[in-house]
Amino acid sequence: MRTLLLLLVILPSIALAHNKSDVVEMYNGDRITGEIMGMVNGDLKINPRYSPPINLDLQHIASIDSDYNYEILTSNNQRFYGSISSTDKSGEVLFTSIDDSAVIQLLRITEIRPVEESFADRLTYTLGANFTFEPDLLTYKLEGTAIYANKKGQYAARANYLQSTTRSYTEEQGWVDGEPSIAALFSIDNEVWTDLKGQRFRSVAAQYDYNDQLNNFGRVSIGAGLGRYWLDNQGVRLATTVGLQGVAEKTKTGDDGPTNLPAICVDDDSEAVCFDDTLTRETLYSGEAFASASLIMYSLTDMDLNLNILGSLYPSLTESDRIRAHLEASLSWEIVSDLFVKLSWYSDFDSGDRDNEGLSPLNTRRLDYNILFGLDWRP
């Protein structure tokens, strides 16, 4: 939570960038002069001299001129580094590097990233807030992402914090909030390209996650693997990663010893059933394999519509018949510049049967999920 709030404060204050001398010409004749900040999902972002940053649809752009250095990815998985200039023909650009030059059709470009020395030129980030409110359930989620790219690869950091509170109504007290349940995640991942096209990469990742609904009271995972971009075209990007990781996690297990904690009672068919809460926390160590897939789809239209799906499987190598899974899916569309509304699904699954270890039924669960509506800011 502290890390996410720190991102909210620090990232907007980063302001170093190159001079606003880049020129973008549109098919309707408009010429926009400013700083090209990059392109992703079919939108070229430019910061004009006379206004805040704006997004331009790639399909409406006739030419681009810039003396600064960029990394360009194309639909046939080519990767270039150098400057961009216009040609005599609309809809294409001349890309010039130290070693070579090439003419590229604009609609074949899938991503443009500045590779200047400035930290701000290499950093992109998003911030979001999601929520759902029902009479008996209140859920909210804060999230943020940051990506720092260079010629060899990229670092990606993600953080989110989700809290759900069950509410009950009584005639004496009205609405009463129960004990909140919490799920949190922070991860950092480093991808290093292993071929000239950047189609294959090595990945090293570390992650911390917490979900009290699944008996996870703090899990640290550190692992490494190999990945590949299978599709990187206009409108779709698909990547997969496989590898191994070590895990240290805190869970609650039964304790046969005496306890001074009060008994917990639940109402079962109008009869109070009570039992002693004799659970203690224990740190467990294990090894896992993992396989993850990331799918991004977007529309090349004036209305930005993005679909993002991230799924991961974690079969245990040290615990028989245990498998974990994580799935995130979101559909977002831009309502004003840089501001998106989003409908998202967030879920975790753990097949581990903790009942055999004496866990209380109130603390045993295998699937936790949330459906949320929220906002994303993508400057």
| Predicted local confidence at residue 143, as pLDDT | 92
Residue 343: its H or E element: strand 339-350
How far is C-alpha 29 from the chain's CA centre?
Answer: 37
Which of 184, 203, 199 has the alpha carbon at shortest distance from 245?
203
| Predicted local confidence at residue 358, as pLDDT | 44
Could you give the maximum distance between any two Cα atoms of the chain, in Å? 84
Phi, psi for residue 238 in degrees, rounded to 5: -130, 125
| Predicted local confidence at residue 122, as pLDDT | 67
| 113 neighbors 149 (Cβ within 8 angstroms) | yes
| Predicted local confidence at residue 355, as pLDDT | 46
Residue 56: its H or E element: strand 54-57
Which listed CATH number (2.60.120, 2.40.10, 1.10.3470, 2.30.30) goes with 17-117? 2.30.30
Q: Exposed, middle or buried by CB within 10 Å (0-12, 13-18, 19+), for 322?
A: middle
| Predicted local confidence at residue 366, as pLDDT | 84
| Predicted local confidence at residue 360, as pLDDT | 44
Where in the chain is CATH 2.30.30? 17-117
| 168 neighbors 137 (Cβ within 8 angstroms) | no
Which of 342, 314, 308 has the alpha carbon at shortest distance from 328?
308
- Give the pLDDT confidence of 220-233 residue by residue, as tens digits: 999 999 999 888 77
| Beta strands in 234-304, from DSSP E residues, in sequence order | 236-253, 263-268, 271-276, 280-298
Which of 194, 113, 97 has the alpha carbon at shortest distance from 150?
113
| Predicted local confidence at residue 117, as pLDDT | 54
Rounded to whole angstroms, the Cα distance separating 114 from 18 reads: 10
Which of 18, 75, 14 has the alpha carbon at shortest distance from 46?
18
How far is C-alpha 105 from the chain's CA centre?
Answer: 30
Rounded to whole angstroms, the Cα distance separating 366 from 215 reads: 9
Secondary structure of residue 2 in the 3-state scheme: helix
How far is C-alpha 211 from the chain's CA centre?
Answer: 18
Q: How many CA atoms lie within 13 A of 13 on its CB side?
A: 5
| Predicted local confidence at residue 361, as pLDDT | 41
Rounded to whole angstroms, the Cα distance separating 53 from 340 reads: 15
Phi, psi for residue 352 in degrees, rounded to 5: -55, 130
Rounded to whole angstroms, the Cα distance separating 378 from 144 reads: 10
Rounded to whole angstroms, the Cα distance separating 79 from 69 reads: 13
Rounded to whole angstroms, the Cα distance separating 154 from 166 reads: 40
Secondary structure of residue 96 in the 3-state scheme: strand
Question: pLDDT tens, position by position, for the chain (379 residues)?
Answer: 444 434 433 444 333 445 678 899 999 888 999 888 888 778 888 888 777 788 888 888 999 998 888 888 887 777 777 888 888 888 888 888 766 788 888 888 888 887 755 666 667 788 898 887 666 778 888 999 998 877 777 889 999 999 888 777 666 666 666 778 888 999 999 988 887 666 889 999 999 999 888 888 899 999 999 999 888 777 788 999 999 999 999 887 654 334 444 444 545 454 444 544 455 667 889 999 999 999 998 876 656 788 999 999 999 999 888 999 999 999 988 887 778 899 999 899 998 755 444 444 444 578 888 888 898 887 7
| Predicted local confidence at residue 12, as pLDDT | 41
| 127 neighbors 111 (Cβ within 8 angstroms) | no
Tokens representing residue 214 in the block: 């699944």
Q: Do the bridges between strand 123-134 and strand 367-377 make them parallel or antiparallel, or are there none, so unpaired?
A: antiparallel
Where in the chain is CATH 2.40.160.40? 123-257+267-377
Class of domain 123-257+267-377: mainly beta
Planar angle of CA 339, 373, 137, nearest 5 degrees: 145
